[in-house]
A and B are shown apart, each in its own frame.
Chain A
Amino acid sequence: MPFDKNIKIPNENEYLNCIRCGLCLAVCPTYREYKNETDSPRGRVALARKSLEDELILSPNLVEQMYSCLACLACNDICPVGIKPADIAMEMRHVAEQVKPTGWKNTLFGKVIANPDHMELVTWPLRVYENLGLRWLVHKLRINKLFPEQLRDLEGMLPKQPKNPLRKELPQISRSTNESKYQVGFFLGCAQSLMFSEESAATVRVLNRNGCTVITPKETVCCGMPAAGYGRQDLVIEHAKTNIEIFEKEDLDVIVTDCATCGSKLREYSVILENDPHWAEKARNFSSKIRDISEFLMSIPLEKPTGKFDARITYHDPCHLRRAQKVWKEPRELMQMIDGVEFVELPEPDWCCGSAGSQLFTHYETSTHVLDRKMENLKSTGAEVIASGCPGCQMQLMTGIQREGLKIKVMHPIQLLDQAYKSQDKEE
């Protein structure tokens, strides 16, 4: 064993049974892009095994192969043996981080992301950029055309910034506008609060309209996905405990989130803490209450809007929703109950968009190549709107649309329903 026994490593049952059949190569976005075994799930499992068995050293290049994984989970799903190559890649990031910790990760994931006030402070320049009209100016004067390609793409990724984070504006309790039938906890994700506040405001409005009293605790911290992605599983455990404790104080039927990524991580708390006697049951209880917004709405008697939303609409399955949470029917059903929606299925709707959180920063070439495939499929639909309930996917799709010079709107499915209700209210 090449590693100190205090270092948490994947269990050998997780990788030894790989029979190397190669099925995962067919569905891996990075393999399909480069046609190189090193970029494949089977390759990553082999590298993990060889480093854990001391055949290879845990070199920067080996660790990089773990970071090149988009964690789209397609390999986990297709593996006939039940190996989870994407999970192994994540765990190997954690191994690397334990062997050689990186200081900036501690600051970013341990201090900044762990505190909503800090998060709001560091993203303040983005809101200034938007709200003082600087962004308008940059676009008007075409200064953004002078940016290098990657910076231009990153700027295009930035959604319209709210004046204030939603966390500051949303009341702790938003009562149902009619008879209250459900006590719903709302886990307001960081990206939703800071970047996509209009979407989460719509989520709360739609819930209130459908018999839900919504309780939004303000002191919640990051779900933990970014820390997990950068190999800090230890911090995820801290985040999990904080969030569980906060929601425990409320008497709730369900805990809803409108962020695919948050939802998948929150559901995982029960697994992350299953061996901790003090936390196991609390975590199980918490995770069993987690619902994606579309999943929850389709499970209750939902008011069918009589208002319309006239558009040809397609839908991109976030990996964290379809594969991590098995939610894929509900968002489609939700949108198709709206009059005027002409729904058209996207080819390869669940093929990763290449976002994977921050892949556009860290693996620009791969990320944009994978995105190009998504854009080809999107163009073939002739859709005017592409819906997707994940901030990461939405930002990536916006980048792709800007790169291609398309006129397609990116929305959250909940916004379609909210707007249909609004148009109904106007008519009434």
Chain B
Amino acid sequence: MDQQIVTQLVKIVGKKGVLTSPEDLAVYSYDGTFEECNPDIVVLPESTDQVSQVVKLAAKERIPIVTRGMASGLAAASVPFSGGIALVMTRMDKVIELDLENAIVHVEAGIVTADLQSYVEKQGLFYPPDPSSIRHSTIGGNIACNAGGPRCLKYGVTGDYVLGLTVVLADGSILKTGGKVIKDVVGYDLKSLFTGSEGTLGIITEALLKLSAKPKYARTALVEFSSIDDASKTVNEIFLAGIVPATLELMDQTAINCIEEAMHIGLPIDVAAFLLIESDGVEEETTTREIQSIAKICEKTGATKISLAKDESERANLWKARRSISPSLARLSPNKLGEDITVPRSAIPEAVKRLKAISQKYGLPIVIFGHAGDGNLHPNILFDKRDPDQMKTVELMVAEEFEVALALGGTLSGEHGVGTLKRPYMEKALGEVSVCIQKKIKQVLDPLNILNPGKVLPD
């Protein structure tokens, strides 16, 4: 990086906000995938104004900017393949305002999502989206990837809580979109455009988020099935009975074994599938009644065992187990590639069947778990990337996984995003017309192609 540019960046964000040592560049080269590439410089801004000035400089000098929070992403969206500036938002982590009367919180993009949650919960309020990375991801990253999570079945995804955004555009100008209103139909819905844009259209620096009242009670059931078909059917039966549980998580046998190996919490390892179901509500009685109705449905649909969490610590343990599946897969093999294909709910049994067939065909294990309630599955291929043959096989398998999703009327990704890893499949998933119009949007908002270049859209 040109020394003059370094000097100018230091002038904007201060000495502590600019990192250039080989060690610093090396640790800002990766995210939660196995991809890596060094940036040329790391910049940690502390205000929207600083971000704006950095972008103005980058635009003038044609330097790529890859924005990131805590880099827990699973699509290599924040890996700086084109070098340039790694723009790290973690130091913009303040709550600007908590508006109790309107139940709206105004935060900077770098606040850790779990910190935001506990902050508002102290006031009896609730920010529902709960990606598994909740403690090691930022709200800005959640918005940029439109993160989901188990609870999104009942409460909706990150984007459903975004009322307004402050976005630094590719020329450094500052856009404020949306506001403290629930209904707003004036002009195009720009906040939705930036939500899920993975840093390719603008840099989200602040957000206005809608909150709700915190449900006081939660009851959790762990239900065992001797076949994954029965588990999937149960999901539909629950909805048909008019019940929308807070979460409805599916784990297959491979996932259960994996949790047990990592955590030793006494899960039976010979069960074909588990549903982890949670009801929540403002009253204890209705919450308990709901989980009991669910239990009755499960009995009818072939559940072999239904266990209710007795207290908060049992419940916390179940969730801890669920959250640790993805990372603990690495105990089974050196590498894993987790996708998050989504299919219509009714197609889950068929999707699982076809995924297992892929695993059999290529001889590498696929561990399956996911959010059964919204058809979002996480098939994880286990492999060893040191073996070049396996790497090739994995590529073929992933392509087939996507085929399965699309053939069943689904989509490539429910919550992880496209990043670099799913780019090659975009045209197939969206069609030429959609990709073409999206490229035009990118062209308008980032004519110099400096914002996270080479991500999301195919060349």
Contacts and interface: CB of A to CB of B under 8 A. Distances in A.
Contacts, number: 90
Contacts of A36: 19, 44, 88, 90
A141 interface: no
B179 interface: no
Nearest to B258: A80
B44 A35 contact: yes
Interface in A19-62: 19-26, 35-38, 40, 42-43, 46-47, 50, 55-56, 59, 61-62
25 contacts: A19-B34, A19-B336, A20-B31, A20-B32, A21-B327, A22-B71, A22-B72, A22-B136, A22-B137, A23-B327, A26-B114, A26-B135, A35-B91, A36-B19, A37-B28, A38-B24, A40-B27, A42-B27, A46-B26, A47-B23, A56-B23, A61-B21, A61-B23, A80-B327, A81-B331
Given A20-B30, A20-B32, A22-B70, A81 B330 contact: yes
Interface of B: 19, 21-24, 26-34, 44, 70-72, 88, 90-91, 93, 110, 112, 114, 133, 135-137, 262, 324, 326-328, 330-331, 334-336
B423 to A, nearest CB: 20
Given A61-B21, A80-B327, A23 B27 contact: no
B70 to A, nearest CB: 6
B27 A80 contact: no
Given A35-B44, A47-B27, A59-B23, A82 B331 contact: yes
Contacts of A50: 26
A26 B112 contact: yes
Interface centre among B19, B23, B70, B133 (most CB of A within 10 A): B23
A47 B26 CA distance: 7
A17 interface: yes
Given A35-B44, A47-B27, A23 B328 contact: no
Interface of A: 16-17, 19-26, 35-38, 40, 42-43, 46-47, 50, 55-56, 59, 61-62, 65, 80-82
Interface centre among A20, A37, A56 (most CB of B within 10 A): A37
B31 A43 contact: no
B19 A25 contact: no
Given A35-B91, A36-B19, A21 B32 contact: yes
A25 B27 CA distance: 13
Nearest to B71: A22
B135 A19 contact: no
A25 B327 contact: no
A46 B27 contact: yes
B32 A22 contact: yes
Contacts of A42: 27
Nearest to A40: B27
Contacts of B32: 19-22
Given A16-B334, A36-B44, A81-B327, A21 B136 contact: yes
Given A26-B135, A26-B136, A56 B110 contact: no
B19 A22 contact: no
A81 B328 contact: yes
Contacts of A16: 334
B31 A35 contact: no
Contacts of A40: 27
Given A19-B336, A36-B44, A80 B135 contact: no
A67 to B, nearest CB: 13
